[in-house]
Amino acid sequence: MDRNGPEGAPHLSKVEARAGTRNKTNRNALVAGLILVVLAFIVVVGSGFLSTDRTGADDISANNTAAAATAQP
């Protein structure tokens, strides 16, 4: 089989160029990974892990705003 086309450029058949399989393993792995990431995000948000009420950030921000408002003449 001649692999050189016009001007010496390599020529491959469709099967050789694809160099992969037609099974659905990669797609299934990507879908499963996506589902697991979405479920993990739902658990994190649902558990309240990202809420700021436990960090005191809201209180500090309110205190700073109040202090700034009373400090100005």
Q: What is the pLDDT of residues 28-65, one digit of tens each?
A: 999 999 999 999 999 888 887 766 555 566 666 666 66
Residue 69 reports pLDDT greater than 60:
yes
Residue 1 reports pLDDT greater than 80:
no
Residue with tokens 């990669």: 26
Residue with tokens 């309110």: 62
CA 27 to chain centre: 16
Query: Secondary structure of the chain: what % helix, strand, coil (to 5)?
Result: 60, 5, 35
**Whole-structure pTM value:** 0.46
